[in-house]
Amino acid sequence: MSLEDRIHNMEQCNRCSQCKFVHMPKSQEFSSICPSKYQSRFHASSAGGQVISAYGYHNKLIEASPKMIDSVFACSMCGACETMCKSHMGDNVEPFDTILEFRAQLAEDGKVPETLSNMVKHLEQEGAPHGKRDERSRWAEGLDIKDARKETVDVLLHIGSGQAYSEKQWDNLRFIVKLLKSAKVDFGIAYDSESDSGGLAYEIGYRSVADKLAQEWADLVQKSQAKTLLAISAEAYSAFKNVYPRLNKTLSSVRVLHTTEYFEELLQQGKLSLGMKNTGKVAYHDSCRLGRRSEEYTPWNGEYIRVLNTMAVTDTPRKVNYGNDGNYDAPRQLLSRVDGLDMVELERTRQYSFCCGGCTGVKETYPEMADGAAQELLREAESVGAEVLVSGSSCCQANMAAAAKRSNSSVKVAYLFDLLADSIQEGA
């Protein structure tokens, strides 16, 4: 697919601005859905604005000015615009796919911010946006985890670059390993042979790098003979379900699960149990990659045809993703099992969740955008009386926790497994 293939969709955008706002919001204060537009207050930063820019750029009506490039890459690719647009326009516009193709064209033309292009170069060299490949499994030293490159395993654990290289996250990783061992799960890791999922390179626009990384991992999964691919990283989980089908990569017949889903299964099977009481008022934030961006993508190779010389329709049935089938329930079910925990919902939840702005290189390239989006979420948490804002994504948790520290917010930000650490007990 290319921008040329998206002409029909781009021409369907009527600038209704539905991509910017929550449908039927509970309040005007928290009615925005697009972090980029919320921060910039500039139409070009919204999905509708980016579609117009893409159309103009493709047709050589405008050039890639620095401001236009910023309006494109300050977007965290959270996919909220897609959910909002489709609720109004069905699959006629699909702005997210256009933005993906726009980024791919800008990358091909060398019009990507230097910080992002350097991250991709590092991905090519080391299999991660930062850190050295031979340091990827330092967190696992002394844990005696099976090497999935040499032994068959039932469950192949994918760590993800964010947690593998952040020492602040290593306790979480070791806790997850401890629980898997306690539940007698036959699992292993790929140690330093694990690469980034390829999702980051794909979303920035570097298709060939994404393809190479995805193929490397798909080959390793197949050789492992694992029945389940267990993703700790929300970003990798999203890539396996939403990006790999776009790259025509298959993960053989393995089940792809996030740790929140898998540990809920273990609890249901009685292989783990919850014990200690953990009191407090907690709000769960649906991160984009665990939520709407984890909805499985189904490739479609049909064509649009004209009906009555006016309306364009698909010549064969096509699955349309609305963001409804993301991983929303498992994290809430885990939290609901903790005795004494008072769960409250944010105004914007599930497929209508507001993105924290911390992923896809936004935090590194446009830190003020990432901070502003996170501060908005902290305000939302405060408004519902939450004492703790919980995330199932370590990337989101790190961004929101840093924002809370900068603003002296009364809300504590916690990673889901940090919160569960005192409650989950080993064995039944």
* pLDDT tens by residue, 89-141: 888 899 999 999 999 999 999 999 999 999 999 999 999 999 999 999 999 99
Q: How many domains does the chain have?
A: 2
Torsion of CA 118, 121, 126, 131, to 10 degrees: 0
Is pTM beyond 0.85 here? yes
Which one-letter amino acid corresponds to residue 188? G
Predicted pLDDT at 53: 97
Predicted pLDDT at 276: 66
Q: Are 63 and 112 in contact (CB under 8 A)?
A: no
Tokens 């002409």 -> residue: 7
- The answer to the question of residue 210 being in a domain is yes
CA–CA separation, 344 vs 206, rounded Å?
40
CA–CA separation, 359 vs 378, rounded Å?
17
Cα 147–chain centre separation:
27
- The answer to the question of residue 112 being in a domain is no
Same domain, 213 and 285: no
- The answer to the question of residue 287 being in a domain is yes
Q: Which two tokens stand for residue 357?
A: 């702005």
In sequence order, what are the residues at sequence separation of 6 or more whose Cβ sits closer than 8 angstroms to the Cβ of residue 251? Answer: 218, 221, 222, 229, 240, 244
Q: Are 123 and 213 in contact (CB under 8 A)?
A: yes
Predicted pLDDT at 313: 83
Q: Which two tokens stand for residue 290?
A: 């665990």
CA–CA separation, 228 vs 254, rounded Å?
5
- The answer to the question of residue 396 being in a domain is yes
Same domain, 333 and 230: no
Q: Are 383 and 28 in contact (CB under 8 A)?
A: no
Cα distances (angstroms) measured from residue 345 to each of 23, 125, 286, 358, 386: 17, 42, 10, 21, 9
Q: Chain-wide mean pLDDT for the chain? A: 94
Same domain, 161 and 220: yes
- The answer to the question of residue 356 being in a domain is yes
Predicted pLDDT at 189: 98
Q: What CATH number corresponds to the domain at position 354? A: 3.40.50.1860
Same domain, 195 and 283: no
What are the φ and ψ backbone dihedral angles of 30, each rounded to 5 degrees? -120, 50
Closest CA to 392 of 167, 235, 164: 235
Same domain, 247 and 147: yes
Q: Are 34 and 22 in contact (CB under 8 A)?
A: no
- The answer to the question of residue 42 being in a domain is no
- Expressed as residue numbers, the domain containing 238 is 132-269
Closest CA to 368 of 20, 30, 41, 39: 39
Convert the pLDDT of each residue in 13-64 to its tens digit: 999 999 999 988 999 999 999 999 999 999 999 999 999 999 999 999 999 9
* Residues with pLDDT less than 50, the chain: 428
Same domain, 243 and 354: no
Same domain, 225 and 202: yes
Same domain, 213 and 163: yes
Predicted pLDDT at 427: 55
Same domain, 284 and 411: yes
CA–CA separation, 183 vs 175, rounded Å?
12
Predicted pLDDT at 196: 95
Same domain, 335 and 207: no
- The answer to the question of residue 151 being in a domain is yes
Predicted pLDDT at 421: 81
Same domain, 257 and 145: yes
Which one-letter amino acid corresponds to residue 93? V
Q: What CATH number corresponds to the domain at position 198? A: 3.40.50
CA–CA separation, 136 vs 164, rounded Å?
6
- The answer to the question of residue 144 being in a domain is yes
Same domain, 259 and 282: no
